Structure 1
Amino acid sequence: MRYQPSPEMLSGRREPLFNTLPPIVVVLTGVIIAATSVQLLSQWEFILDPWIANWMFDAGAIAGGPEFAGVYRPLGHFAPLVLHVFLHGGIFHLVMNMMALVAFGPPVAIALGIGRKGAFAFLLFFAGCAIAGALFQIGWSEFTGQSELAIGASSALSGFIPAVGWLRGGLKGAVRISVPWVVINLVIAVVGEFMASIIGIRLAWAAHIGGVAGGIVLFPLLLAVFNTRLWRLVKRL
């Protein structure tokens, strides 16, 4: 049974859609928290073997630039394009991303359909945005010649912003809601070194912009396949 859009959804009101947590959102959040917990705990030798965290970074972190050319990848060179979403730089990084997943995930999951097919579509969308973000990040590193590592689910979650915009206002809504996040990341790109000196880490702004681009393109395609009736309504907005 496909999801039938409510008047609240099409009008942009936050009920009851944004107060619902579909199972797939809960499961994905739990898996990311579990994986990151193992990664963070294994950085403490008296809790877990540090080899675990090193292996997880080798297998999952986005690595771009000449320094990482030919770097060892235990699960292959494609795996990091998706697996980087299960690694985070700390508790704060993890909490911020999981809050975004819980905030933006439900409307996307419900729109793609409640059930196994909908859950598959949701994971496909999440992975697609992660891949788009990773490719943008790697491409920027290769273009500038600056070697960088990037981890975190924000690459994929950036694609959820335009997805919500699609549901609320079609393509114009997707672009409108995405512009502030894109501008923020362009500012980060300009003042990146200054911010890094303050917070101690570099933000993967290129991955965020790549995720937005992926969300704008992928969401309507998946909606057209998995919820045709809703797509017909959305494209009229």
Structure 2
Amino acid sequence: MRPVRSPIFNDIPTVLLVLAGSFVVIFALGALFPQLGYLFLTIGAVIPGAGLQHPSPLGPWSPYIFHVFLHGGLMHLVFNTVATVTFGAGAFRPFGRGLTANIGFLLFFFVCSIAGAGLQVLVAPGSMIPMIGASTGLSGCIAAAGWAEGGYRGMLRFALPWGGFNILLALLGPLSPLPLSWAGHLGGLIAGVALYPVFVALFSSRRRRV
């Protein structure tokens, strides 16, 4: 995959602004209307120990996607929103423009989110602690932004620090001062490392230009 060197913060795509805006809108609705907030949690919170008995009215698989729209507090929301826009902008650029590019990026983001949720369930299958937040998909975008900025070496430069930080959290276990889903982060990151070049090859509008 040929590196695409351009500033990460330039030209934020509309699809990213819509995605980030949805985080804010859902957070605000949940805060203003507690019953609606409870419904959002029921639909979106990943609860590994619930298994097929998950209470979501949309079925036990809905949290694998919808957890990305939920956040546990203002700081959680701000960090994930800003980071998703920042790294997502870099990750989006090689897709080009147009409907196909938008679809490709969103599919990539949510595949990484599903991978993160899946690894969380595999690592802690009996846990009843809910996992929420966009950081599963965001973790995939961190690796993707590295791919876009500097190819394989760029990916390593972006992915290794984030992966190492989450491995440290895993080693610390209950001693960790941060209640972060290291498995969710690593699942999204691994998916981003492995799948981003495939998604760009399949969905990039730039590769179809003549």
Same fold (TM over 0.5): yes
SS class of match (2:130): strand
How many Å apart are 1:176 and its aligned residue? 3.4
* Alignment pair present for 1:161 and 2:142: yes
How many Å apart are 1:229 and its aligned residue? 5.8
Counterpart for residue 182 of structure 1: 163
Q: Which runs of 5+ in 1 are unaligned?
A: 42-47, 231-237
How many Å apart are 1:63 and its aligned residue? 0.8
How many Å apart are 1:20 and its aligned residue? 1.3
> Equivalents in 2 of 1:73, 1:97: separation in Å?
24
> Equivalents in 1 of 2:147, 2:121: separation in Å?
27
Query: Following superposition of structure 1 onto structure 2, how do residues 60-71 of structure 1 map, counting pairs within 5 Å?
Result: 60-65=44-49, 68-69=50-51, 70-71=53-54
* Alignment pair present for 1:141 and 2:124: yes
Counterpart for residue 235 of structure 1: none
For the Cα contact (< 8 Å) 2:48–2:124, is it kept in 1? yes
Counterpart for residue 207 of structure 1: 184
> Equivalents in 1 of 2:75, 2:173: separation in Å?
19
> Equivalents in 2 of 1:51, 1:40: separation in Å?
9
Give the RMSD, CA atoms, in angstroms.
2.1
For the Cα contact (< 8 Å) 1:141–1:148, is it kept in 2? no
* Alignment pair present for 1:57 and 2:56: no
How many Å apart are 1:115 and its aligned residue? 1.2
For the Cα contact (< 8 Å) 1:128–1:218, is it kept in 2? no
> Equivalents in 2 of 1:146, 1:62: separation in Å?
10
* Alignment pair present for 1:87 and 2:87: no
Larger radius of gyration: 1
For the Cα contact (< 8 Å) 2:54–2:60, is it kept in 1? no
Assess, with a 3 A threshold, how the Cα gap between structure 1 residues 195 and 39 changes in structure 2: closer, same or farther: farther
In structure 1, give the amino acid aligned to 2:144.
A
> Equivalents in 2 of 1:146, 1:22: separation in Å?
37
> Equivalents in 2 of 1:71, 1:18: separation in Å?
39
For the Cα contact (< 8 Å) 2:84–2:138, is it kept in 1? yes
Equivalent of residue 108 in structure 1, options 68, 91, 102: 91
Greater Cα offset, 170-179 or 108-117: 170-179
How many Å apart are 1:110 and its aligned residue? 2.2
SS class of match (1:212): helix
TM-score, normalised via structure 2 length: 0.89
* Alignment pair present for 1:226 and 2:192: no
Counterpart for residue 45 of structure 1: none
Assess, with a 3 A threshold, how the Cα gap between structure 1 residues 102 and 229 changes in structure 2: closer, same or farther: closer
For the Cα contact (< 8 Å) 1:40–1:90, is it kept in 2? no
Q: Deviations over 1:30-82 (max 9, x none)?
A: 111111221233xxxxxx2x3222211111111112xx241312111221101
Detail structure 1 runs of 4+ shifted over 3 Å in the superposition. Answer: none
Counterpart for residue 23 of structure 2: 32
For the Cα contact (< 8 Å) 2:96–2:205, is it kept in 1? no
